[in-house]
Amino acid sequence: MTAFRRGITCNRFIYNEQKQFPQASGEFSEILSQIVLAAKVVSREVNRAGLADIVGAAGATNVQGEDVQKLDLYANRHFIDAMSDNCHVSVIASEENEDIIRTDPERMLRPGKYAVAIDPLDGSSNIDVNVSIGTIFSIHRRITPGHDGGPADVLQRGDRQLAAGYVIYGSSTMLVYTVGRGVHGFTLDPSVGEFLLSHPNMQMPKQGSFYSINEGNFPYWAPKTREWVVALKGTENPAGKPNSLRYIGSLVADFHRTLFKGGIFAYPMDFKNPDKPRGKLRLLYEAAPIAMIAENAGGRATDGQRRILEIQPTELHERTPLFVGSEADVAFAERFHRDAG
């Protein structure tokens, strides 16, 4: 594995990685660099949110029927613009938009080779209370022929993602991403306006003693899920002791902690609507990118029965149950859910 010099900028890092592939055109690196730039701008706005009058519901609802807040709109517009300005992206799917966005093909000399899925501001219900929120992204190679792209370009299995990453707007802003060659973390130094390599080759502990779940949903879970959570609070579990509960309600923040400290984050299927049991998290914008990062850091991600990265999406806003984290803790969750149907 390459030795990485801490403190180099993210853009330099991306360029160095590109040089490992002499045939690379640099187009893919340009997309990553555009994401880095957009993340800096959104980070600035998140930090100013308490000052500027841009916090609060914008009055609209997104395609999931949730309140859209102003900062969501800002982040969505910014990431979409950043991707559209890049002539290598043909198709963008955003959690905030019902349909795919085709970047303007007229401006392109030739069809863009890539498709991007993005959750521009995840955990947005936490904005008002100054709790960490994040951006999640993934990049696919385009598979449709012709000049324009189509939904099929983003409706690809997670194991076909070329890159996945997130930005956490927390006590500091960090960008964590993988192109399948290790997971690397960069911390934004606001004084120079650059993401600097702070956490090369991140590895998730093989086993932890934290579980992260919205336990208020207990009455709506399947019996096997309840049994599993009860077991986590006992001694018959991988930690051999009651696990500690940590839950922020912002996937990026909950996953980020799990990546560092180990354990499991889960959003299982629930029966709030008994006729239509479902997971809450979105496969394309949340589960698949987070799963790619987890696996590349030595962790695992499953819907209880299937590896998240092997699920073929059929809809842009498809939801899935998600169990992600340390290998031993995800395997333990799977033991309860595998045969539950």
Torsion sign, CA atoms 272, 277, 279, 282? negative
Task: Say if residues 157 and 117 touch (Cβ distance below 8 Å).
Answer: no
Question: Judging by DSSP bridges, how do beta strands 67-69 and 101-102 pair with one another?
Answer: unpaired
- Is 96 or 153 the residue whose CB approaches ligand AFP more closely? 96
Task: For strands 161-169 and 173-178, give the pairing.
Answer: antiparallel
Residues 118-147 that bind ligand AFP (CB under 6 A): 122-126
Contact 93, 115 (CB under 8 A): yes
- Examine residue 56 and tell whether it contacts ligand AFP (CB under 6 A): no
Among 132, 250, 296, 326, binds ligand AFP (CB under 6 A): 250
- By rule CB under 6 A, what string of x and - marks binding of each residue 61-100 to ligand AFP? -----x----------------------------------
Residue 136, Cα to own-chain centre: how many angstroms?
Answer: 4
Q: Closest distance between ligand AFP and the C-beta of residue 121, in Å?
A: 7
> Quick one: which of 305, 237, 293 has its CA closest to 268?
305
Nearer to ligand AFP, 149 or 299 (CB): 299
Judged by CB under 6 A, the stretch of 6-14, 44-52, 188-196, 246-254 that binds ligand AFP is 246-254
The reply on whether position 214 binds ligand AFP by CB under 6 A is: yes
Strands 244-245 and 210-212: parallel
List phi, psi (to 5°) of 6: -60, 145
Minimum CB–partner distance for residue 333 and ligand AFP (Å): 16
Interface positions, 279-318, toward ligand AFP (CB under 6 A)? 280-281
Name the residue with tokens 């969750």: 333
Tokens (6 digits) for 172: 């500091």
* Minimum distance from residue 109 beta carbon to ligand AFP (Å): 37
DSSP one-letter code for 1: -
Query: Closest distance between ligand AFP and the C-beta of residue 62, in Å?
Result: 9
Write down the least CB distance from residue 250 to ligand AFP, Å. Answer: 5
Query: Total residues at the site for ligand AFP (CB under 6 A)?
Result: 14
| 160 touches 141 (CB < 8 A) | yes
Contact residues for ligand AFP (CB under 6 A)? 66, 122-126, 214, 249-251, 254, 267, 280-281
